[in-house]
Amino acid sequence: MNEIELLREWDADAPPLTDTARARARFRLYQAMQAPAAAPAAAPAAVGRRPLLRIAVACAAATAVTATVVVAQNTGESAPRTQTVSATTVLRGAAAEALRLEKPLAPRDDQFIYTKEVIELKPVSGGPVKKYVDESWNSVDGSKKSYVSELGHTQWVPPAQKGQYSWPPTEWSKLEKLPLDPARLTIVLRESGTKPDFGRKTRADEWPMVQFFLAGLLRDSVLPKGLRSAAFEALAAVPGVEVLPDRTEFNGHTAIGVRYVGPRGTPWEDGGRVLLFDAKTYRYLGLRERTTMKLTTKVYDQSQYIVADGVVDRVFQRP
């Protein structure tokens, strides 16, 4: 079960949660995420798809990102010069690229978001790479059945029911209401759907979940105009976001990796999911993470990237 199901699977007949109840649920979810992994089960690890928890952002730029990476500049000289690149530089560059490349969309509630994603699993201990091409059709407003593929396994997802709750929102109308100011976006995501207190600073113990919400938001292939750029800008200010020390190859590109490393005692204390960006343009390419198949306990380096997306009128239609 994806982590979001802990928030989504409320009793459909239950009354709306109070602010106190929501805060308690967020705390219990965070505590559960810190618990040791369960014993192997008879199903592969989930890839974290829609609906899923995502990441949030920081407003305090003064505490942001100190880690940097040194990249070579080819100037035609015998010895290449180098320049220091911070996570802030990469993520703000990604924000600018997102604005430049985005296709303004206004899907109707009765339409579907189409996504085609490639996932590659490379055994850490060596062996052949497993490759999956997943195509999914998600209802724009959640009122229709969605068709989702994950590691080659397909299923119909029923329409959202009364009382179900996901965060960040998946419905387009709710995504459009998220603020495009990075600092305000951070606070709105932090509050998980309750009334945001824009005058309160984010506490140190809230940043892990904030970045998690933001990351999930960035996983969506199609977002309202300006929202992806705002999310990158917000992520650039999260304390603990850093650049990996070496460049890597990813889907034919020389890439720079950015990840979040959380405080000791959190699930992210050793670093986790790595977001990958083109080393020259900072365009977002995809992500890489370490994953374990529960059935075999075999560990893989998992890479995934979007190859096509768009808005369509029905399931199985492609843009």
- At 187 the pLDDT is 96
Supply the pLDDT for residue 293. 74
Q: What integer pLDDT is reported at residue 295 of this predicted model?
A: 66
Residue at 58 is within a domain: yes
Among 72-86, 119-133, 162-176, 209-223, the range scoring the smallest mean pLDDT is 72-86
Residue 170 and residue 187 in contact, taking contact as beta carbons nearer than 8 Å: no
Q: Tokens 């705390």 correspond to what residue?
A: 27
Q: Nearest Cα to 140, choosing from 5, 313, 318?
A: 313
Has residue 221 been placed in a domain? yes
User: Using one digit for the tens of pLDDT, what is the confidence trace for 75-124?
Assistant: 343 333 334 689 999 999 999 999 999 988 889 999 999 999 999 999 99
| pLDDT at residue number 7 | 36
Distance CA 119, CA 136 (A): 13
Q: How far apart are CA 163 and CA 90, in angstroms?
A: 39
Contact 284, 107 (CB under 8 A): no
Mean pLDDT of the chain: 77
pLDDT score of 61 more than 80: no
**Residue 33 burial (10 A CB sphere; 0-12, 13-18, 19+):** middle
Distance separating alpha carbons of residues 175 and 168, to the nearest angstrom: 8
Instruction: Please give the torsion angle defined by the CA atoms of residues 98, 52, 196 and 31, in that order, rounded to the nearest 10 degrees.
Output: -130
Among residues 50, 92, 56, the alpha carbon closest in space to that of 284 is found at 92
Question: Tokens 């650039």, residue?
Answer: 236
Task: For residues 134-161, give the mean pLDDT.
Answer: 93
Length of the chain: 319
The reply to whether 318 falls in a domain is no
Residue 25 located in a structural domain: yes
The residue segments making up the domain with residue 191 are: 5-312
At residue 69, the pLDDT reads: 41
Q: Please tell me the total count of domains within the chain.
A: 1
Any domain includes 80: yes
Q: Which residues of 216-228 are buried (b: 16+ CB within 10 A; e: fewer)?
A: bbbbbbbbbebbb
Residue 244: its pLDDT value, please? 92
Radius of gyration of the chain (CA): 20
- pLDDT grade for 162, boundaries at 50, 70 and 90: confident
Assigned domain for 150 exists? yes
In a domain, 319, yes or no: no
Question: Are 255 and 274 in contact, with CB atoms under 8 Å apart?
Answer: no
- Whether residue 307 lies inside any domain: the answer is yes
| Res 49 pLDDT > 60 | no
- Residue 145 Cα distances to 5, 11, 51, 167, 182, angstroms: 17, 19, 13, 19, 33
The residue with greater pLDDT, 173 or 49, is 173
Whole-number pLDDT of residue 133: 96
Comparing 28-32, 109-113, 225-229, the range with the smallest average pLDDT is 28-32
66-75: average pLDDT: 36
Mean pLDDT (whole number) for 288-303: 83
Tokens (6 digits) for 184: 């305000």
Residue 99 one-letter amino acid: L
Q: Which residues, including other chains, have CB under 8 Å from residue 88's CB and lie 6 or more apart? A: 61, 64, 65, 236, 237
